[in-house]
Amino acid sequence: MSSDSTQEEPLNEIDEKDIEFCEAEDSTETEVDEIEQLVLERDGYLNDLQRVTAEFSNFRKQSAKRNTEFNSRSQAELIEKLLPVLDACDLAIEHGANDVAPIREALISAFEPSGLQVIDPLDLNFDPTCHEAVLHESAEDDKESSEQIVTEVMRRGYIWIDRVLRPAMVKVRG
């Protein structure tokens, strides 16, 4: 029996060591699985954060663009409401009331830095995008000319930041 008991002891020791090794191996595998899962969860949160950050950045840019467009439209509406005042100044100057000229110049010089442009196309080629032909006279030459020249400006036009607020009313020859 003593020989059997010596043989059983090493077997029991091996079995216990194997069991401890297997248990350690199992716990290591579960820890690795937990770490992998945590890494995936972290990556998901990071992706969500990056997406939300990009969306917010786009939102800020779009809001700034909308605000700029709104301000530009509001300023254009104000200028359009002042066009009759400028027209009255022009008519008064044409009829000899030269005291009105400084008022007109002050209005124009106040709005030009913000983007107002006066369309006064006398002796220039007719451009239908910013001129409105209300009178037409034939060319003095017998030759058919495709060029149309503005011979008289009946009412000035105005452009506000690359947008025609009102085309100039003109007389065209050609």
Q: Residue 13: its pLDDT value, please?
A: 56
Question: Can you tell me the distance from the alpha carbon of 102 to that of 91, in angstroms, rounded to the nearest whole number?
Answer: 14
Burial 136-168 (b: 16+ CB within 10 A, else e): eeeeeeeeeeeebbbbebebbbbbbeeebbbbb
What are the pLDDT digits (tens) for 102-144? 999 999 999 999 889 999 899 899 999 999 999 998 877 655 5
For the chain, list the domains and their CATH numbers.
116-174 (2.30.22.10)
